């Protein structure tokens, strides 16, 4: 019995030190300990008394209010707060007060609008005062829109201004009289672009560029200042090691011009004159004309295409390959130009040495691209035939209505999708969109061969409304060969790529999904 009593005394005496007892750990998930706020929390589950005890005095609202301090009730009278808490509001009071608050808000907005475009002798009107309200409603208006009362702002030495709750950039815009949401969003966009550019620069400046990380960053677009170097790395033209890049560039450029010295004079030989003649005919048909028709650019393209055709006799030159030179050339030459738009780039002011380097870089990067899709350009172009067939099967699964509509009007996929595969959609979208598209293609494994299939599927379904509205073979074919994409920009391409990635995620590793 004595031992039982001692055990009880022991547990009573060391109740706060029992192993496993629940105590709050402050710092990670709990705020700093405050006895006023947590005093009742620690005693939320007291032990049931065995003998009657006196009931604790219930704390009054006055005691709670005296121990509570908030910014919003600074300067309020205690009795007034208590009266507001005790007052029962009726529907008429609430509706009348809400109406007055809305009216006051609309008046302030009208004043802001007048201040934005002041006349030559126009002075901003004084701040409108709140219309008088019955004494029973005054406290309610004060509690809902406290900062809109000028009399109170004048009496308060340190009023809580509305603009203090806005971000700094928004406050500046409002103060300057141009609270345009588009300007705020554009500034936020530029900050995001600057942040992405810094990430690219840091990644490229390292001694060994992490190509996997570079692909992840590049998937959603590459900033223009770092695009030339990024494309050269992602295409496999340059090594990841920074110290090896200058020597690699010099060696590759020297190798390319050795090819020109060895092969280019044979363009007039009987064995090669047909190839050269076809290249010479196709180049003026390319776009953008303002760039391609410059004599220096035409000569560069002729040399690149002819050397590639001579060095790849399995395929030789095929119409469509010529279009694949343009994006590389535009991206690399714009590094030395001030023009924002590569479509109208003038190379007449670029030095011969720079043009030679750009020509060699373009040749090698285009060769790397074609190495992955060369079956598109061999005899009978089996790669394109297979991809068009896969596109037809894929569309029949993801949008059966569009597929059935094309079939009912006897439109064959080969009649419009052959060019999509042959030119990698370059004839369907503006050049600026092609460059953005290739940012992602070079970030994707087999982007130009496999991922392009899903981009074409998303591209076709993107026009389902226009396709279903056409009820004639000729009109359907004209639509599909001249889709209205002239106004497209990076945002449209990003949406297209997102849909293509969703399709790839669903179908790429499950080929039976698109087999009937």
Kindly report, residue by residue over 30-85, the tens digit of the pLDDT. Answer: 455 555 544 444 444 444 444 554 454 555 656 655 565 544 444 444 454 444 44
Phi then psi dihedrals of residue 352, to 5 deg? -65, -35
- Residues of CATH 1.10.472.80 domain(s) within the chain? 382-508
pLDDT in tens, 156-166: 444 333 333 33
Overall average pLDDT of the 238-253 stretch: 95
In order of 3, 12, 49, 50, 51, the CA distances from 6 in angstroms are: 5, 10, 20, 18, 20
Instruction: Provide, rounded to the nearest whole percent, the portion of the chain with pLDDT above 90.
Output: 53
pLDDT at residue 396, as a whole number = 94
Q: Please tell me whether residue 66 adopts helix, strand or coil conformation.
A: helix
124 Rama class: left (phi>0) / alpha (psi -120 to 50) / beta: beta
pLDDT at residue 338, as a whole number = 78
Q: Which pair of tokens denotes residue 22? A: 């629940």
pLDDT at residue 287, as a whole number = 85
**Nearest by Cα to 516 from 404, 397, 368, 389:** 397
Show contacts of 258-261: CB within 8 Å, 24+ apart. Answer: 259/307, 259/311, 260/303, 260/307
Statement: residue 170 has pLDDT above 70:
no
Statement: residue 389 has pLDDT above 90:
yes
Q: Which pair of tokens denotes residue 216? A: 């992840």
pLDDT in tens, 281-335: 999 989 888 888 899 999 999 999 999 999 999 889 999 999 999 999 999 999 9
**For all residues of the chain together, what is the average pLDDT?**
77
CA 114 – CA 124 distance, rounded (Å)? 7
pLDDT at residue 235, as a whole number = 95
pLDDT in tens, 81-112: 444 444 444 556 556 666 776 777 677 767 76
Specify the CATH number of the domain 382-508: 1.10.472.80
Phi then psi dihedrals of residue 125, to 5 deg? -70, 150
Spell out the alpha helix ranges (H) of 88-180: 91-116, 135-144, 150-155, 168-175
């Amino acid at each position: 019995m004595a031992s039982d009593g001692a055990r009880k005394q022991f547990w009573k005496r060391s109740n706060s030190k029992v192993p496993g007892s629940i105590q709050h750990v402050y710092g990670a998930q709990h705020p700093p300990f405050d006895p006023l706020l947590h005093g009742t929390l620690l005693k939320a589950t007291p032990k049931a008394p065995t003998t009657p005890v006196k009931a604790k005095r219930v704390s009054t609202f006055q005691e709670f209010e005296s121990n509570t301090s908030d910014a919003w009730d600074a300067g309020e009278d205690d009795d007034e707060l208590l009266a507001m808490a005790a007052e029962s509001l009726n529907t008429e009071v609430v509706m009348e007060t809400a109406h007055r608050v809305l009216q006051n808000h609309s008046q302030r907005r009208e004043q802001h609008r007048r201040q934005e475009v002041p006349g030559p002798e126009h002075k901003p009107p004084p701040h409108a005062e709140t219309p008088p309200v019955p004494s029973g409603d005054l406290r309610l208006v004060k509690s809902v829109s406290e900062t809109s009362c000028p009399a109170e702002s004048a009496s308060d030495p340190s009023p809580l201004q509305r603009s203090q709750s806005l971000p700094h950039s928004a406050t500046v815009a409002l103060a300057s009289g141009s609270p345009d949401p588009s300007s705020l969003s554009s500034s936020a966009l530029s900050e995001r672009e600057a942040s992405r550019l810094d990430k690219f620069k840091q990644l490229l400046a390292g001694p060994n560029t992490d190509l996997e990380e570079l692909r992840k960053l590049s998937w959603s677009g590459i900033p223009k200042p770092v695009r030339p170097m990024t494309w050269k790395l992602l295409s496999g033209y340059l090594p990841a090691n920074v110290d090896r890049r200058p020597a690699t560039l010099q060696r590759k450029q020297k190798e390319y011009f050795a090819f020109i010295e060895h092969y280019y004079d044979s363009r007039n030989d009987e064995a090669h004159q047909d190839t050269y003649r076809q290249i010479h005919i196709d180049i003026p048909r390319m776009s953008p004309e303002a760039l391609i028709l410059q004599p220096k650019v035409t000569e560069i393209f002729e040399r690149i295409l002819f050397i590639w055709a001579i060095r790849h006799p399995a395929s030789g030159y095929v119409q469509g390959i010529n279009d694949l030179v343009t994006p590389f050339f535009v991206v690399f030459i714009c590094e030395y130009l001030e023009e924002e738009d590569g479509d109208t780039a003038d190379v007449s002011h670029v030095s011969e040495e720079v043009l030679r380097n750009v020509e060699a870089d373009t040749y090698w990067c285009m060769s790397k691209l074609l190495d992955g899709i060369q079956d598109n350009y061999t005899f009978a172009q089996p790669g394109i035939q297979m991809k068009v067939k896969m596109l037809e099967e894929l569309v029949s699964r993801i949008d059966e209505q569009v597929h059935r509509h094309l079939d009912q009007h006897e439109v064959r996929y080969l009649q419009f999708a052959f060019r999509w595969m042959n030119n990698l959609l370059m004839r369907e979208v503006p050049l600026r969109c092609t460059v953005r598209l290739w940012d992602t293609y070079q970030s994707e494994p087999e982007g130009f061969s496999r991922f392009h299939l899903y981009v074409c599927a998303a591209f076709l379904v993107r026009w389902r409304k226009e396709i279903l509205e056409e009820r004639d073979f000729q009109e359907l074919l004209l639509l599909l060969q001249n889709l209205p994409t002239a106004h497209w920009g990076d945002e449209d391409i990003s949406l297209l790529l997102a849909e293509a990635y969703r399709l790839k995620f669903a179908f790429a590793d499950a080929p039976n999904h698109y087999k009937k």
